[in-house]
Amino acid sequence: MLLSDFLKIKILAKHNGMLYALAIILGCICGYADFMLPISDFISSIFIKIFKCMSLPIIAVAVIASISQQSGNIQLKQIGKHTLLYTVGTTVIASSVACILYLLISPANITSAVSGNPIDAIQNGKYANYVLSIIPSNILSPFLEHNVMGALFIGIVIGIAVRHMPINESRSLNIFFKMIQGLFLIIIGWVVKALPLALFGFISIAIGQLKNGTNLQGLGGYLAVVLLSNVVQGIFVLPIFLWAHKINPLATLKAMLSALSVAFFSKSSVGTLPITMETAENNLKVSREISRFAFPLCTAINMNGCAAFIFTTVIYVMQNNGIESNLFTLLQWIFISTIAAIGNAGVPMGCFFLSMSLLISMDISIDILWLILPFYAIIDMVETSLNVWSDCCVVKVIDKKFRIGEKSSANWGK
């Protein structure tokens, strides 16, 4: 089963890679033809509207479905609490690592001869108003005004309220929200299939900007921050987390290598979930009860790579639009990127859509995102692998902690 699924993922990845390559080539060609730019702009505008329309409902429903997950089993409730603690902790660390690397590398701006006046969101009060609007005055206003953090706030409150309802009612509501989430994921799947067309439009616009004087000098620094954040989290932070619980990191990595490979090629932690659970149960000897409960929860809320990407991307785009980030702003965005990543759907391009939504909600120009998009395929592969690797580490620690009669060093050196 694992081999056949892996081969299918590789074939699908090859097919998608050819479509993306074709879209990039055609976009580059059409970007030099001025008469094609209005068509490219029209295509880009359509997809931006689709992203804006779908992103907030998906985020809110995902948060509600994750937080409201309830179980009558006392041990499973304890497992859920520890899973939430570990996933939030590792996600905060991932966002903090991105912050430190951003300050150390300090990527330069992308300059453009055709860019408009810088947006000084701080002087105009937009950023302050954005922070205040996290608590909405109307339950529908975050969705009408595209206020991502307001929608997240409502999702968190509703999710917690559902958990405090009687068990039967809580389970029914959780099933309802999961069904709605599944519906949105199907629609997003359609959008992802049409993404090569969107990529063509975005690349054409980006090439048109390059032709008119855009300088990409600072893009290398931005990409370095994103990729190094994932590398540091995966190679240093998570292995230390395993060592602290007396679990051999190399043995764990070797046991989960097939699942991580599928995650890399599929770019979807949700799509990889069945293989991840099977591999953990067979190779890591994680108990079936813990695996079937903790892995879905981790897949929904444990987004180390996404948090690092959201933090770095939002700060970098803000910087390019003339918005300076002081220490207080950076600390705020560590928190915001963590919460936003927890609400992200584990599907391809999920982090990109979410970062776009955060920026749009603050009225910040997202033109730079189209210059980042051609590189996102590789970023998405690395992020997804990190997310699944983090899931494996958390679930292995949970399994060791709650396995009845297990000795403290049972897994050491395996």
Q: Rounded to an integer, what is the distance from CA 392 to the centroid of its chain? A: 17
Which helix H or strand E contains 202, and what residues bound it? helix 195-211
Rounded CA separation 317/5 (Å): 38
Rounded CA separation 79/72 (Å): 12
pLDDT at 60 over 70: yes
pLDDT number for residue 227: 94
pLDDT at 250 over 70: yes
CATH 2.30.30 fits 2-17+39-402, yes or no: no
User: What residues does each domain of the chain span?
Assistant: 2-17+39-402
> Of 339, 273, 279, whose CA–CA distance to 311 is shortest?
339
Q: Are 119 and 363 in contact (CB under 8 A)?
A: yes
Structure tokens at 351: 């982090």
Measure CA of the first residue to CA of the last residue in the chain; give whole Å.
25
Cβ atoms < 10 Å from Cβ of 250? 10
What backbone torsions phi and psi does residue 215 show, to the nearest 5 degrees?
A: -110, 120
Torsion of the alpha carbons at 352, 49, 194 and 212, rounded to the nearest 10: -70
Close Cβ partners of 329 (under 8 Å, ≥ 6 residues apart): 127
Q: Are 199 and 23 in contact (CB under 8 A)?
A: yes
Q: Are 197 and 23 in contact (CB under 8 A)?
A: yes
175-193 pLDDT, tens digit per residue, is: 888 888 778 777 766 776 7
pLDDT at 273 over 70: yes
**DSSP alpha helices (H): ranges in 284-349?**
288-301, 304-320, 327-342
Output Rg (C-alpha) for the chain, integer angstroms: 21
Q: Average pLDDT of 270-285?
A: 82
pTM: 0.69
Q: Are 181 and 62 in contact (CB under 8 A)?
A: yes
DSSP state letters, 227-276: HHHHHHIIIIIHHHHHHHTT--HHHHHHHTHHHHHHHHHH--HHHHHHHH
* 3-state secondary structure (DSSP) of residue 286: coil
254-264 pLDDT, tens digit per residue, is: 999 878 887 88
320-357 pLDDT, tens digit per residue, is: 888 878 888 898 899 888 887 876 655 556 688 778 87
